[in-house]
Structure 1
């Protein structure tokens, strides 16, 4: 007797092989038959008109804090994800001495836009070492499985104390040896690998650069060599190589990435996106990756399926007026969003903010784009259009209305009782379309990642990346570029799973985990995010509802039916590599 029988679906098995019509039987948490299935089942799910895929595997999330207070782990879980990796970009909460708790909270609040008040109330801190942290997670259950990296920033502070937060401070030989030892200890306890950050964009709440920013060869290669000697773990990192217009800097960073892969002998992935300052840098990076792979190194770019876009609102974290003194006074004076919105509706407040905004105009960098980039600000419709044309921008709307742009945008933000959301594509949109994103996604050595599920609570809402990948690219963008459904599913299942060493999932075949999505492909879409107040200490976040997921099944247990959580939490901690059987 099978536990579950999924009947009459179009099976996309995760390997990239052609789709076929068939049934899938699950028993004792594993897939036992595919195709023509024999025997009865305790529950039958009719997948007529739907595609049946493996559960998605998201290798780039930041649930490191959320795991302490939430076992649902949205937004990833509601977007078909059944396995996820966290502890990316060198940030996390272990190892952690007691006197560094507040410091780590401030770091994550700045780097990943997770409210510090929520972290302060929600983190349990029933650990110090990284193995302690894993033991704490192992005592909990979730809607999906989770693995985590050893984060470099936390490790550095644990070993070096206050000096670890200063990226200009050099560790001693003994400190490097201790970081290497603790990394191996973490791998032996079940860490997926080691992660680090080398981007100026990662700063603490106080604006300080992340301590790992300029870590040198002795430190990084010392850790990599220890990983190689132990024969465990993967390396994940973010670097400014894709952002810079400086050829020499980019080449130096790629040289370091090569040395990390050579020294460790381990699989390595790093962020590759398109920036306005260097819109074709990703192409030269891809050529360097090709050369590394040709030399026998296992190196991949982590790429995104759409722009990395800021969500602008008066009711969330950021908007074009966020730098004005009057707005900062109102927003900082109370956590009461209703009171903030009431104040912003006052004519004298509006006039003051618009004057301050006009009198102080940044000329470069992110601040200039955020505060005056009206040609890149778009209303979020339903479903969301992630490839808007400049003619749809608020700048174009204001011009057609004969209105001043800043004043027009201010009034738009007050629509819908102040809950109006604007979309501002910042990365992967240098040419005003997604053609280059398609080229990045269909490259030879890529992994689908960068969703940052669990992070950027009030600014970015990209935990829905798996849904965009399948919904958008199986049908095509506005230029008509598309990708085979089988390839897209493979990218978010078997390929991602194999990269982090999870060989027991990501495929719909007998012997693999019973992690399944049943998707009405024609209905697969995303509504605009909503501002919800469900974090500890009343913290807010953006949460986006997908449509089209009929069932998500984790280890043979339905966790979501038609978008609703079933109350089941069959997932938990994954320690290191996972083998079938």
Structure 2
């Protein structure tokens, strides 16, 4: 007898992604769609026993940078190892299209500076079989991966494509330039781009210190991109604000974009130490904008935003010192041996960092906010736990103890440098309001980028443990709401209404999770990028199965080899039956 369904997940605790209470049910799948939820009598060609397990929609991550990785490999990790089944890339105004042949090197150098992707990895891995953004989408259409992916058209490549060297040199655009950027934005969205993105943050620079082309542009250029969305009649707008401006000034531009485009807007929302309490002003502005009929959401990370430092990584407190430069490209054992030399130690401790990029110097220069990350990783350390605080309690110089910490575990030790989302020495005061707010969306995983400085793509696992299972009563987010925050909420923020929910007719992207066993391991370094490039990976236990378009892609944490992931072209209205 023919099986009634392709897949049946039996007897799990189903959280449908809407925030509704969980139910005990079976979930049946046929032709990549959910065919039934409830008591399913028909058999499946494949069955998964989900007793004592959670069954959730696949998670949606709206802030990634897999623009390059998707062209050279078929696994969009770390995201796909943490229950994520759809990612949105092309954020922060950087990417690889549109690009003329003579502009490719500039885009490689830009991604190297802004997103910490080694240049040799990109020159080896990116095939460049496109010029326009529609060409890029056509190239992506031929890619098969473990999860779905959607793309946004990035402002910096678009500016340089239209203006040539004038765009790279940060010259102001002409009216003709603005009209062409507007036209190409609409063209990209009509071809299937999910939206357009830009960045105004002064942290986004080439390694040599020059600002990314989008950063110093006038508001008129940003609004030309918004006009492109209005012309297309669809699409979303993503922006990284200039955090040197006061929160009200930052939000004024976001509001103008929403008014001009008539489309949803989202932005990187951090608790900036330069504006203590400014996050409250942003939340009030979000609520006012909603009341006035505009769709604006803040993208938040559910823990302090920070960098990972170490001898095996891109940055550490001595990485920019003159005496360290000859060691920079040595194998790790050789670095460790050299740094154990007393003479080199004295020179490094006496020197100051030298680099043209002020953001790199900012990251490594705050010795008071350095912590050993540990395993399991501790992303919420108290100020008294810093290496410097412990050194002073022992009557020692902090920098000497930091030097010794870098050499622990034969140089594999990872130090944690929190930079944003901290109120004094804590995150919880702002986090309790920012994270669960209806006008914020969990994001900022940055998968596919920052290969040797950040490993935040594991945030779904962290969120489900720190904020749900292991949370104290004063910060706990209830499980139905938490699953909604990982599924329907981010999907709705980018107009992907066909996923993020368990309902008949919805796309069959699913997770089977053993919440009691869910565990996030410490990041570790691998050398498996093109040209042997390094990256941080972070494993998780507790994901029994992940399903994409009805096919099981991960079982017991191991890849099955199924590659159902495809390019998602444009907005998707819900096809699920009510």
Q: 1:560 to 1:280 in 2, by over 3 A?
A: same
Partner of 2:240 in structure 1?
A: 238
Contact 1:476-1:483 within 8 A present in 2 as well: no
Cα deviation, residue 360, structure 1: 8.9
Partner of 1:289: 286
1:356 alignment partner in structure 2: 351
Question: 1:149 offset after TM fit, Å?
Answer: 0.4
Name the residue aligned to 1:266. 263
Q: Please give the secondary structure, in 2, of the residue aligned with 1:163.
A: helix
State the superposition RMSD in angstroms.
1.9
Q: Provide closer, same or farther for how the CA distance between residues 378 and 144 of structure 1 changes in structure 2, counting only shifts above 3 A.
A: same
What is the deviation of 1:316?
Answer: 0.8
Whole-Å separation in 2 of the counterparts to 1:380 and 1:544: 13
Q: Check if 1:90 corresponds to 2:93.
A: yes
* 2:19 is the alignment partner of 1:24: no
- 1:486 corresponding residue in structure 2: 480
SS at 2:131's partner residue? coil
1:545 is matched with which residue: 526, 539, 544? 539
Find the residue that maps to 1:45 and give its secondary structure: strand
Equivalence for 1:279: 276
Which deviates further from its counterpart, 192-201 or 20-29?
20-29
What are the ranges of 5 or more consecutive residues in structure 1 without an aligned counterpart?
A: none
Residue 90 of structure 1 aligns to a residue whose secondary structure is coil
**SS class of match (1:459):** coil
C-alpha separation in 2, matches of 1:278 and 1:328: 35
Q: Secondary structure at the match of 1:416?
A: helix
Q: In the alignment, which residue of structure 2 is the partner of 1:428?
A: 421
Give SS of 1:164's match: helix
- Render the CA deviation track for 1:450-469: whole Å, top value 9, x for unaligned: 11111111111101111122
- 1:381-423 Cα distance to aligned partner (Å, 9 max, x none): 2221221122222123323443321111111111111101111
Q: Please state how far the C-alpha of 1:369 moved relative to its aligned partner.
A: 6.0
Whole-angstrom CA distance in 1 between matches of 2:411 and 2:220: 51
TM-score, length basis structure 1: 0.95
Instruction: Check if 1:255 corresponds to 2:252.
Output: yes
Give CA deviations for 1:246-299 in whole Å, capped at 9, x if unaligned: 54xx43332221111001100111111112221211110111111111111111
1:580 Cα deviation (Å)?
A: 4.5
TM-superposition CA deviations, 1:79-101 (whole Å, max 9, x none)? 11100100001100000000011
- Is the 8 Å Cα contact of residues 32 and 549 (structure 2) preserved in structure 1? yes
Which of 335, 339, 344 is the equivalent residue of 1:340?
335
Q: Which runs of 4+ in 1 moved over 4 A?
A: 476-479
* Structure 2 unmatched runs, 5+: none
**Does structure 1 residue 149 correspond to structure 2 residue 130?**
no
Alignment of 1:128-147 (within 5 A): 128-147=131-150
Structure 2 Cα separation of the partners of residues 113 and 479 of structure 1: 38
**1:333-370: CA deviations, max 9, x gaps?**
x353333233222222222211225x999xx9873562
Q: How does 1:291-310 map to 2 (within 5 A)?
A: 291-310=288-307
Mean CA deviation greater in 35-44 or 567-576: 35-44
**Normalised TM-score (structure 2):** 0.95
Question: Does the 8 A contact of 2:512 with 2:546 survive in 1?
Answer: yes
The number of residues matched between the two structures is 570
Alignment correspondent of 1:579: 573
CA change 1:335–1:184 in 2 (3 A) is farther
Q: Is 1:417 aligned to 2:414, yes or no?
A: no
d(CA) in 2 for partners of 1:335, 1:147:
37
Partner of 1:388: 381
Separation (CA, whole Å) in 2 of partners of 1:256 and 1:390: 35
